[in-house]
Amino acid sequence: MTSRLPLLLAGAAVCALASQAAAEPRAQIRGEIDGDLKRQLEQAIGEVDGAPSNRFEARRRARAALTSAQALLRSEGYYQATVEDQVEGDDKPVAVVQIAPGRRFVLGETTINWTAPAPDAETSTAVIEDIRLKPGEPGRAAGILEAEGRVVADLTRRGYADAVALPRRVVVDHATFLVQPGFNINSGELVRLNGIQLRTRGPTKESWLQSLVPWKEGDRYDPEDVAELERRLLDTGVYDGVGVALSPLDDIRPDGLRPVVVTLADRPISLLEAGATYSTYEGVGVDVFRTRYNRFGRADTLRYGARIASIDSRIGGEWSQPHWRKAGRTLKLSSFIVNEQTDAYDRSAITLAADLSQRLGKTSWFSYGLGVDAGRYTEYRFDPVTQAPITFDRDLAIVTLRGSAFMDRSNDPLNPTSGYRLSLSTQPTAVAGEDTVLFLRTEGQATAYLPLQDDAKTVLAGRARIGSIIGGEELTVPSDRLFYSGGGGSVRGYSYQSINPRLPNNRPRGGLSLFETSIEVRRDIGEKFQAVAFVDGGAIGFQETPNLTNMRYGAGVGVRYKLPFGPVRADIAFPLNKREGDSGFQLYLSIGQAF
């Protein structure tokens, strides 16, 4: 197999070279032409497979190249160019175009002719200033078309929603070598908005929808406002389709105002979901949840069900109301009965939470809320006095104020290839019951994505996470609030929580601080598959700042299969700082990128 590899590579290289050799220009370009223009002409003329077989074929290619060259030269402002098609040679005929570009025409004054009615004076002045066609610049057709498009777009942004460009008149003066564009623009009437017209078969209430409208009655039409209303509706996640558009001209009210038509296609009102995860250490996890959409006609969502797994099992539900009393703000209420059985602790508890999140821009948000947990803890700890492991049970009630922020500047929420993401959370916490303690838990994470090629076929991804508990002690902070590392969501190659230093009985010891880092190289293979190589690292400390001297690393490879809802992920990872009791590898199956 190894001996064949060089032959295969050599054969592939020969095929590639042969393929490149077979493609040649449709016609050779002759004449005194500057480099940039010649490259444009070569691209316009194009390539063909193989040389012409006879003079007739060569003549046909030369004439086709002549037509393409003339069109390109005119579009670039060479209106007096001379182009001739020729055929050279008898035995091996060659198609040739002889080109003398001549003098390049430049822009003269640009005029706009407003068909009645003309826009208001302020709008007219602003639109003319944004034409950006300066006298003396090359008279390129593309620049003229772009300027005409800017005129219509500017009018639309300033309230003239029905603005259209009529046939333009461009004068090419061969005596003065000037190109003088003349735009004929019908701006239409200034549009002022009324409310909305709702078209839907679902239960959405028009009164709720009206509260999302970002304009007031009588405001000028602004396409950004219309797009913002569409975004607000799409953000709810309860609609299969959302259409927001200005009503037709014949729907204008007697007072001159025009409504906006909102068309909604609801998702199925109920959805049953089942999922599964697997890792070598954590075993199989099964989720079954039911979701009900738009029950009260305000794009609300109720999700309830159960997760059964060897480490974390829970039953309960959550209800969310988007745009609660304010656009972009979401109220979320949740309640779960939780049973956790980890190497570090066991917990059986009831959890209640209420959170408000506020969107900032298109992809960022912050949230704040309150959480209450009450339950029984069995904890496996280290006594610094006796230097021995201890086990104790506690009944605790925990009240947590929760604040977090998230900024997403990546290009794709499911499979990012460029940009970055930042997240931060802070949780002032009060514990009552068999112990009383106050502490602050903070955590931050940054991820970044760098395409290594223009087509983003290869992407370098990185992650860093840091956390600290301030004001608490290792023995008094509840075990589920301490930091742990290891597993599919942190440092692959190690089992769940196993990055932590261990007690003498081999149980992980929770820490007061944490540091993690990851680097991945992701390479697309065809349209559906992606190969991944990665290195993860992590450390746990028993002070408020992480202890980087006990960093542990894991490395591995993986494959992704791309689906519309995100990639399916399979990773195999190996510990690079293997200790007694660590497995030789870990396998992870899940949905979505690792970060």
Check: CB of residue 448 under 8 Å from CB of residue 462: yes
Q: Tell me the C-alpha distance between 55 and 91, whole Å.
A: 9
Read off the CATH number of the domain in which 49 is found.
3.10.20.310
Question: What confidence score (pLDDT) does residue 214 get?
Answer: 94
* DSSP letters for 426-482: EEEEEEEESS-EEEEEEEEEEEEEEESSTT-SEEEEEEEEEEEEES--TTTS-GGGS
Check: CB of residue 497 under 8 Å from CB of residue 514: no
E strands within 39-139? 47-49, 82-88, 94-100, 106-107, 111-115
Return the exposure string of 32-59: e unless at least 16 CB atoms fall within 10 Å of the residue's CB, then b. Answer: ebeeebeebbbebbeebeeebeeeebbb
Please enumerate in sequence order all residues whose Cβ is within 8 A of that of 421, keeping only pairs 6 or more positions apart, or say none: 406, 407, 408, 409, 410, 445, 446, 447, 448
Question: What confidence score (pLDDT) does residue 346 get?
Answer: 94
DSSP 511: B
Question: What confidence score (pLDDT) does residue 14 get?
Answer: 36
Closest to 165 in 3D by CA, of 110, 223, 114: 114
Cα-flanking dihedrals φ and ψ of residue 301, to 5°? -135, 130
Question: What confidence score (pLDDT) does residue 144 get?
Answer: 96
Q: Are residues 506 and 576 in the same domain?
A: yes
Select from 69, 84, 100 the last residue of a domain: 100
Pairing type for strands 192-200 and 178-186 reads unpaired
CB atoms < 10 A from the CB of 174, how many? 9
Q: Tell me the C-alpha distance between 30 and 103, whole Å.
A: 17
Residue 341 lies in a domain: no
Q: Are residues 84 and 163 in the same domain?
A: no
Q: Are residues 87 and 153 in the same domain?
A: no
Q: Does the predicted model carry a pTM greater than 0.85?
A: no
Q: Are residues 426 and 539 in the same domain?
A: yes
Q: Are residues 42 and 150 in the same domain?
A: no
Check: CB of residue 570 under 8 Å from CB of residue 559: yes
DSSP 137: S
Stated as kind and residue range, the H or E segment containing 230 is: helix 223-235
Residues in the chain, pLDDT under 70: 1-22, 279-282
Select from 78, 100, 122 the last residue of a domain: 100
Q: Are residues 145 and 49 in the same domain?
A: no
Beta bridge partners of 297: none
Residue 254 lies in a domain: no
Measure the CA angle with vertex 509, ends 507 and 514; round to 5°. 135
Q: Are residues 162 and 48 in the same domain?
A: no
Which residue is it, tokens 């003498």? 504
Q: Are residues 163 and 32 in the same domain?
A: no
Domain ranges, residue 453: 402-591
Residue 396 lies in a domain: no
Question: What confidence score (pLDDT) does residue 184 get?
Answer: 96
Read off the CATH number of the domain in which 555 is found.
2.40.160.50
Q: Tell me the C-alpha distance between 590 and 487, whole Å.
A: 12
Q: Tell me the C-alpha distance between 29 and 39, whole Å.
A: 10
Select from 74, 100, 126 the last residue of a domain: 100
Residue 327 lies in a domain: no
Q: Tell me the C-alpha distance between 436 and 383, whole Å.
A: 18
Check: CB of residue 356 under 8 Å from CB of residue 371: no
CB atoms < 10 A from the CB of 217, how many? 12
Beta bridge partners of 548: none
Q: Are residues 544 and 457 in the same domain?
A: yes
Check: CB of residue 330 under 8 Å from CB of residue 323: yes
Measuring CA to CA, how many Å separate 348 from each of 149, 282, 581? 64, 18, 27
Residue 586 lies in a domain: yes
Check: CB of residue 168 under 8 Å from CB of residue 148: yes
Q: Are residues 472 and 561 in the same domain?
A: yes
Q: Are residues 507 and 553 in the same domain?
A: yes
Question: What confidence score (pLDDT) does residue 22 get?
Answer: 55
**Token digits for 580?**
């007694």
Measuring CA to CA, how many Å separate 35 from each of 38, 41, 79, 180, 478? 5, 10, 19, 27, 72
Residue 210 lies in a domain: no
For the chain, the domain total comes to 3
Residue 472 lies in a domain: yes
Closest to 505 in 3D by CA, of 390, 400, 370, 586: 390
Measure the CA angle with vertex 509, ends 505 and 513; round to 5°. 165
Question: What confidence score (pLDDT) does residue 581 get?
Answer: 79
Residue 40 CA neighbour count, 13 Å, CB half: 15
Residue 194 lies in a domain: no
Is residue 314 packed enough to be buried (19+ CB in 10 Å), middle (13-18) or exposed (0-12)? middle
Q: Are residues 49 and 87 in the same domain?
A: yes
